[in-house]
Structures are given as C-alpha cells and as structure tokens.
Amino acid sequence: MSWLQDFRDLCPQPDLLQAGRNLPQQPRITHRKCRRGCVGYGSEGLRAASGARGKKAMATDSSLLNSELQLQQQEELQQQEELYQQLLLQTMGQMQTENPDSTVIRPQPGMCVKTVTEPDKQKVFVNICQSNSVPPPPELSREELVELLQSEDPSGYRVPMSLGEPHTEVDNNSQGCTAYDVVINQEFFQMCQKDPLFQQFVILVSLEGLENKYNLELSREWKVLKNRKFLGSVGEQNIRKTSKPVIQELPPQGSSTSAAKRPEFTLLVEPPAGEPEYLIAEIKLPGVPSCRSLVLDVGEDRLVLTARPSLFHLDIFHPFLVDQENSVSQYNKKTQILTVTMPVVSS
C-alpha cells in the first residue's frame, strides 16, 4: 500500500515498521509520538508523504496551463489580425471616398526578381505582379523594341505601372530583406513571359521606376527565381482610375538645352611633356546622383555631355584626334566628378 510505504520512509525504525503493518487501512490524522521520540503518522507525515505525488500533479497542471496560455495567445493574435484587417479596409475605403479617381486592387503574383542595392549590397526582391486594372502600354513589336533599346533616348516609351511601398520580408536563409511590389497590365505581363527580350525590358523598367521613386541604386545583375512568383504576401494597392491627358502642352524643344547649365571642366594631357598619349577630361557635376542620368558622346575631336533632366550640357571641341572605341569614363558619386580618358591618335 502506498501510504504504508510512505510511512516506512518517514519512520525507518524496525519496531515502528512492524507496528505499521498492523495499522488500519485508513490512518487517522492525529499527532502522536512513538516510544523512541519519532514523529508518528500524523498530519505532517501525510503532507510529507504526498509530496512526490503532489509534484507529479503540479507538473501535469503546469503543462495544461502552458497549453491554455498558448491557445489564449493564438486567439489574441487572431483577434488583433482581424482588427488590423478591419482598420485597413476602413482606411482604404476612406481613401477611395476622399479620392474618387482611385481604386483599390489586389494584384496576382507574376515573377520574383532578386537583386542587390549599390554599393552596400543589401538584398532586394522585386515582385512583378499583374492586374487588368492597370492599363496596358502602347502596342510594341519585337523589332520596334530592338530599335527602341538602340535609340539614344528609350525613355519615350512608357509602361504604366503601380509601385508599392517597401516591406520587410525573410528569405530562404532566414535573413531579413526588402521587397517591392510592381504591378503591370496582365496581358502585357503574359506577353513578356513568352519573349526573353520583353521580360528583360520589363524588369529593367521596373528597376528604374523603383530607383526614381525611392532614390535607390539597384544592381543590373538580377536573377529571376524559378520556384517563387512572390516573396511575402500579396497586398492591396491604390491606383488611379483615370490617367493623365494624352495631349499635353510641351515646352519648345530648344528650352531643355538652353535651361541646362554649362559645367566646370578641366582638360589634361598625359604625359605633361613630350608626345601626348591620353587626353583626360574632368567634369564637375554637382547634384547628379549617379551615372545613369548621364549621356556621353565622344567624337574624334569633340565631346558632348548631357545630364538629365536638363541639369548640365557640355559641347566642346579639343585639338586632338582621339580613339573613340577605347575611350573610357568613370563617375565618382562622392566627388561628383566625371572623368573621361581618351587615347590620343594624333595632335
């Protein structure tokens, strides 16, 4: 019997152990003393004897308590998520009421592009989504796209898109990263999926759109993920119902060049003495964020530089004939100086 064993543990003397066998089935809860001065099987003994069984019960009760706490926490998180969704819908409804020219859409996943920021190499994912609520761009054949990419100013062709806010996500390596959602027309997206050239074009346009909106610099060494169409969860976006008028009053063609400033520049010859081998032009361009806004044309005896949009314009002739094919340029974003190195053919 369990209570008899507990009694033996409390009072290990032989005579009490023998007396314990003759005790009744239900011990009386009294306080007695044995002949040798040991504490008998009273109320204190019962409490001590039931200690082991009490610990097991407490362990069982604590596990049940932990399960109840986890269920309660899950219910609280679910209630918070439902409240957040309600507040989000109310906010979107107020925005749409205040701005009747806009509407809320939930796009469909398309493809996920992985790249990094420059120069800090922070991981960035671009979710290119699709929706029929976004208007399609003008029709463009593959031959026209090739001509457009080879032209001096391919920015004349516009692709309507909605650029979402950045959101923090976790990649497959459990590392934090930033993701952006770009929404384009669904039919145009399907056409881009069939032709690699159109796919590269829409990725390039998406990266440039994010760079212009959020003042970023993204690497052009991207990777399209094969087994993932979207990183994170598809969110809602607010887009305009009506587009800007097609016909707009434009300034005269000569105004952009005339409004641009002439930058400060220096022409150097290397080596300084003897037969010149290189002609080096150092051009100061304050306010130019990156080289992507620069258009440089090196001729045999002429150098033309334009910093868009209408910041700087330089058109100079120099007294040397240079090798156009082997001329190189480098832009330092810290000093904001463009260095053009031109091999000299003859003077």
Question: In angstroms, how far is the first alpha carbon of the chain from the final one?
Answer: 116
Q: How far apart are CA 112 and CA 189, in angstroms?
A: 13
Residue carrying the six token digits 């049940």:
64
Q: How far apart are CA 244 and CA 193, in angstroms?
A: 28
Q: How far apart are CA 83 and CA 64, in angstroms?
A: 29
Can you say how many angstroms the Cα of residue 274 is from the centroid of all Cα atoms in its chain?
Answer: 55
Could you tell me which of 200, 193, 189 has the C-alpha nearest to residue 131? 189
Q: How far apart are CA 124 and CA 117, in angstroms?
A: 7
What pLDDT, on the 0 to 100 scale, is given for residue 106? 87
Distances (CA, A) of 335 to 120, 121, 284, 339: 18, 21, 8, 11
Could you tell me which of 133, 244, 227, 125 has the C-alpha nearest to residue 184? 133
Residue carrying the six token digits 């060494």:
221
Residue carrying the six token digits 């990777």:
223
Q: How far apart are CA 55 and CA 315, in angstroms?
A: 90
Q: How far apart are CA 246 and CA 135, in angstroms?
A: 13
Residue carrying the six token digits 């094969």:
226
Of the listed ranges 257-261, 283-287, 330-334, the one predicted with least confidence: 257-261
Return the beta strands (E) in 143-288 as ranges: 162-163, 167-170, 176-185, 223-224, 237-240, 265-270, 278-284
Q: Measure the CA angle with vertex 333, ends 327 and 335; round to 5°.
A: 95
Stretch 293-307: mean pLDDT, rounded? 87
Give the pLDDT confidence of 154-199 residue by residue, as tens digits.
Answer: 666 788 888 888 999 988 888 889 999 999 999 999 999 999 999 9
Could you tell me which of 182, 201, 183 has the C-alpha nearest to residue 141? 201
Joined tokens for residue 31: 């306080």
What pLDDT, on the 0 to 100 scale, is given for residue 282? 94
Over 90: is that where the pLDDT of 114 sits?
Answer: yes
Give the pLDDT confidence of 139-150 residue by residue, as tens digits.
Answer: 888 888 888 777
Q: How far apart are CA 191 and CA 140, in angstroms?
A: 11
Q: Are 155 and 205 in contact (CB under 8 A)?
A: no
pTM: 0.46
Over 50: is that where the pLDDT of 226 sits?
Answer: yes
Give the pLDDT confidence of 6-56 residue by residue, as tens digits.
Answer: 445 554 444 444 444 444 444 444 444 444 444 444 444 444 444 545 544
Q: How far apart are CA 324 and CA 332, in angstroms?
A: 21
Residue 229's φ and ψ, nearest 5 degrees, are -95, -15
Q: What is the chain's length?
A: 347
Return the beta strands (E) in 72-159 as ranges: 102-105, 108-116, 123-131
What pLDDT, on the 0 to 100 scale, is given for residue 157? 78
3-state DSSP assignment of residue 218? strand
Over 90: is that where the pLDDT of 109 sits?
Answer: yes
Percent of the chain with pLDDT over 70: 67
Distances (CA, A) of 18 to 21, 33, 41, 104, 326: 6, 16, 14, 87, 110
Residue carrying the six token digits 């062709």:
157
> Please, what sign has the CA dihedral across residues 323, 149, 117, 215?
positive
